[in-house]
Structure 1
């Protein structure tokens, strides 16, 4: 039974390996993140403001619960790169002139810090610099506040504020399309007319501080100066993405391994039960010689423990290897300056303990029958099964079937419970394969729906501020621009009772064709009814439905608080957007004819000229290509957080093979003597193999549709587990996924059948002649 023991051990190893790997990743990410935040003093409260005088810092510092305070100047910029017609969006951030920042310090990786009094020196975000081959000593040109400036890179840096690097208002990270520039406070203040003022305050809180009270106090102080609403670290984009990834790993480490260990316990129960039944005479003989139930039971329990402990130890090694491999994915995905895979000792203890416990449950259920065997009864062959009630089942088919086929039919009809157990096990493997392959299709669906159906533009342009819609006419006059649609994005906090979400409301034109709100059937949702349309993920987050009234706290301009009815729920798989009619949104804000950006379709032959013209427009804050965003999103899903689906898929296939192979091996072990006897009385090797493998084929054919149905429902749970605030993965019915999963099961059956047939061909016929039956 070494093949079965290895297969069951592999299932246990996979479960323990997943636990060790994911627990280690959670520990590594948590400890590295917390250490990084603490060492470089990441703020706990961010308070953006339009323009506030430095004298307000004293009032902010006096707020009860504030332990440290730092002010800075922040502004948008466009970086001009040689050989690249498309301007690259960047964020410029100030550093104190004569001291280290009290909060949000930077980690210098190359070069040196900015020298005092040198307004042309900058630090550049390391990931952006690496993407463009920039080094300390290189020159860089950037447009800030409408003026083009020349700088010299003196160092490369990373920051705990930018573990996940994305442009403001966007969710897709792209190292090549967004950079961060750090400059001296005096130089950046001069560039943005902020001398003696700041536009963002950073606060650290003391232990036991009332976070809500601090946020309210900060908002009251900054409101007269254009404060747009202080928010905690939990709502900061980079930290939110990192925390969500860690939470997903924690959920997977708690939910996935028990499934594999339950499968292992089920397989152990079947294998040990078969072993006990085949060795009942030896058990009776040992009891007759005086061995106690405990001693006989301990023999079989040791077998269970050998498989469980061996699989658990292999799983520990597998988890260490997998964790060290996956940690490199997170180093590239999140911009940690260091990230070492740290083992969680508790995961080893839990993994081995739970493996032993699960195996023990399966073993002890069988050992009850060992204790119940009396020596005299055990040494006699078991009474033949009563098949009298199944004799007529399939009788009508007998005249159409040859003898081996009738044997297969009789086996199935006479032992329906055992066949049902095998079918259920194989159906579970089929369901797991179906659900994982469906998830692959769901990822592809997310990309297709986001970039080819909802967004049909070529270029997205964002403005430095809410500009007059006359800017749209300037864009339409550009040669090569075929279609322009205005859009306005407004920062707001959406509330429904105790549930809230800090996001953006997108105002769309009534006849929008490039950026649209679509329902679940991909039909366009009309926006000209004065209400707001929420993405399905956002509606679930706020626990709100069409017809309910949503409270909208606008965080820019006059900052009105609006009560807006929810009119529909849109299908959106990227982020959690909300939509309104552009004119309705502007009326609610009392800012008519304002836009903050535009969607464009362009003639690719004129792309270079269009990009250069956009770069020269002083109102342009950023230009992004949909094609670049799609490539970045695909990379994110393949090498970032979504990469774990390939690991899960491989594990699903291992489990499927293990279940099918064990079913075949158990069937052979139960009938090895019968099959050898058939060889003795003249059946060929092929006919004997057909008797066994035909039974397996029928079981698999029945299990496939059952597994497909189970997989359909299981895919919804797994899709929910893979979905995050960054993107949502739909569980869709994809016939190709079900066909491929069926081929996986059939392939596992063919491989298992071949391995079992080798044993049938090598069967020792003499042993069959020596049996008393």
Structure 2
């Protein structure tokens, strides 16, 4: 081992605390990078493999009722590889243990062969026997939620007729990775079922013998999807085609894609922040080390070491810290990724999900960390190359403190001697103090931004369920009913208030930008389910146009005063040209509102409702639930409290859970920055502190000179961190937002207070560690060191 390498080991041991803190910052950045890229790859590749193995359709074409022979016309469309027709619809499941009706999706399977498209994955039991029309298959997650096993009986109501079926198998399917009832955003395994039955059974139940109401298509590699969709709509239009759509608009795939895209966006923003902080810390540590070792650098060059060899010595120090932190981050990233996979496997209905990483992920993590560290270190190494032996071995020119003399003289009148020493240090080295302020401010900003995002998640739920939605439950009907149905609901004992709604499936279009969703009809002055402004003031519905959520308006790039094209996908399927007269703050989904009477007139279906929001007497809730369960017109009942719990679980899972991970990491980073600042100040002033002890200062007074400087820097960093955190919270909140929910960038006093407490806690812990070393300082050794 050559002398420079032995010096490298001694230097690493001497700054082991600072090196460990910087390495931890690098490890955190690499951990997030490895974990997120691994999760993106695992989710994306597992999804694609699942889709391909079970042949998930690429085009879905719902239709009112089409003869079976029409399915034979679809393969002639250029780009279509395979087709299949099936019967699908909605039903109700009646369980004795549940007071409310449970909505179910019915899907048919071919009688005598495996489906060409949208096959199923059998988990338990067996497949259907075509000779027995009373057998069904059940989605495993729903069966597990209610402890249903193969062989159990299940009562199902289809089009008003109840029938008992035998569950013969539990299955999963690629088209039901994300399972939620129509009109709801958050999945709840207890309140929504998926049932597969034979084609003959489903055809008889839905009056579809010899017909189908949904066509499935797969495409060739060179297919042009827009042209295929147009051709399919043209063929199915005479039979009540409801508009074909691609896989990206399928609810399940859409939300899985949102999750993957959110992880991908987060991995591109968050890890670089940590690595940038690490580069900044390395710059400070190495620059001050070079400044302190000027004479040693001069001696090394005088003894014949070249500029390259001396520079490589310090660069090795940088590489050792960076590579060690990166390796630790890779290992921790694997462990964190495997833990997150367990959450995703519980939330999304994958039959399997393994956390897999390519070697390129490790190479990328190490390479990025080394590049970030090198960026901070190379700026310092320029000074090493610039130093000649003669210049390096001379003490640096004394600094000019004349400009700060007036300030110091004024403060000396009210400060004692240790206080004056702190002020001189702070005022005479503004650049160094400014760097420390920025470092601590950056750590505080990250902590403040993450606590702000957590507050934003909570605000999303609070605003939606306490300000926007003030109902107790929502009732959906099997199909649009006369508004007299609302009178029947109002007459139920215990019902306090009823507010009708009309939801119409539609494609909203502005030029080339489209959104597949719904137009929601509301009364002129809603009370139970409102549209609100950014100030949370209620917005009244108007007859002449629509109100769009801000997220939907941004997606369609449309503003108030412009015209929106609404292609209705039910009934007569009119195409409406409606002006946009306002926007509303909606933190869940992307709704479009319209006055219910105006919507019915546009559809030429007066006095129709598709559901209602109810406010009820909680003392009579059980009686109301039983009554609603027996009403044939009711398709589903959604309780606000249960929906809130489901959404909270959704936000605490998957990418939502990542906010807790990064919040904890942000606090660790804050400690690392504060600790490094304290250690650097201690290393620079070790001789001064020993001199003070020799002159008669107590251990506490000597420590005050050092820790007082840290306290000043910390308090100056607080407003800086608050400003940086406020700006950073917008970017992080945007990264967590999706079509499912929008996270507002809130930065309140509690967020600022939490970040301040983190900085104070980090400062106290760092101060205690530094004071302990100051108390143990060897005076003779410290005084022998030359300036």
Give the TM interval when normalised to the shorter protein. Answer: over 0.9
* Partner secondary structure for residue 734 of structure 2: helix
Q: CA deviation at 1:61?
A: 2.2
Aligned to 2:98: 84
Q: CA deviation at 1:387?
A: 1.0
Residue 207 (structure 2) pairs with residue 193 (structure 1): yes
Q: 2:754 aligns with which of 740, 755, 766?
A: 740
Q: CA deviation at 1:325?
A: 0.6
Aligned to 2:582: 568
Q: CA deviation at 1:11?
A: 0.7
Residue 78 (structure 2) pairs with residue 64 (structure 1): yes
Residue 61 (structure 2) pairs with residue 47 (structure 1): yes
Aligned to 1:487: 501
Aligned to 2:557: 543
Contact 2:340 2:654 (8 Å CA) reproduced = no
Q: CA deviation at 1:772?
A: 4.5
Residue 174 (structure 2) pairs with residue 160 (structure 1): yes
Aligned to 1:19: 33
Aligned to 1:215: 229
Higher mean alpha-carbon deviation, 382-391 vs 83-92, is at 382-391
Aligned to 1:454: 468
Residue 426 (structure 2) pairs with residue 412 (structure 1): yes
Q: CA deviation at 1:476?
A: 1.0
Residue 164 (structure 2) pairs with residue 150 (structure 1): yes
Q: 2:218 aligns with which of 181, 204, 219?
A: 204
Distance 1:721 1:593 in 2: 42
Distance 1:344 1:527 in 2: 54
Aligned to 2:411: 397
Distance 2:97 2:32 in 1: 46
Higher mean alpha-carbon deviation, 387-396 vs 311-320, is at 387-396
Aligned to 1:176: 190
Q: 1:761 aligns with which of 755, 771, 775?
A: 775
Matches within 5 A, 1:151-550: 151-550=165-564
Contact 1:49 1:199 (8 Å CA) reproduced = yes
Q: Which runs of 5+ in 1 are unaligned?
A: none
* Partner secondary structure for residue 264 of structure 1: helix
Distance 2:628 2:655 in 1: 34
* Partner secondary structure for residue 203 of structure 1: strand
**How many residues are aligned here?**
773
Contact 1:437 1:649 (8 Å CA) reproduced = yes
* Partner secondary structure for residue 539 of structure 2: coil
Contact 2:526 2:540 (8 Å CA) reproduced = no
Q: CA deviation at 1:255?
A: 2.1
Q: CA deviation at 1:770?
A: 1.9
Distance 1:464 1:407 in 2: 80
Aligned to 2:669: 655
Aligned to 1:668: 682
Contact 1:20 1:344 (8 Å CA) reproduced = no
Distance 1:473 1:160 in 2: 42
Contact 2:729 2:747 (8 Å CA) reproduced = no
Matches within 5 A, 1:627-642: 627-642=641-656
Distance 1:27 1:640 in 2: 15
Q: CA deviation at 1:394?
A: 3.0
Higher mean alpha-carbon deviation, 372-381 vs 712-721, is at 372-381
Q: CA deviation at 1:529?
A: 3.5
Deviations 1:721-746 (A, max 9, x none): 00000000001232111111100011
Deviations 1:473-522 (A, max 9, x none): 11111111111111000011111111110001100012321111111111
Q: Which runs of 5+ in 2 are unaligned?
A: 1-14
Distance 1:255 1:479 in 2: 54
Q: CA deviation at 1:422?
A: 0.8
Distance 1:733 1:276 in 2: 40
Higher mean alpha-carbon deviation, 380-389 vs 156-165, is at 380-389
* Partner secondary structure for residue 56 of structure 1: helix
Deviations 1:58-114 (A, max 9, x none): 112221211111111111111111221111111111111100001000100011011
Q: CA deviation at 1:768?
A: 3.0
Distance 2:349 2:659 in 1: 22
Distance 1:115 1:415 in 2: 84
Q: 1:29 aligns with which of 27, 43, 48?
A: 43
Deviations 1:689-740 (A, max 9, x none): 1111111111111110111111111111110000000000001232111111
Distance 1:592 1:663 in 2: 72
Contact 2:471 2:615 (8 Å CA) reproduced = yes
Normalised by the length of structure 1, the TM-score is 0.99
Aligned to 2:694: 680
Contact 1:23 1:344 (8 Å CA) reproduced = no
* Partner secondary structure for residue 57 of structure 2: coil
Distance 2:393 2:722 in 1: 45
Distance 2:391 2:233 in 1: 84
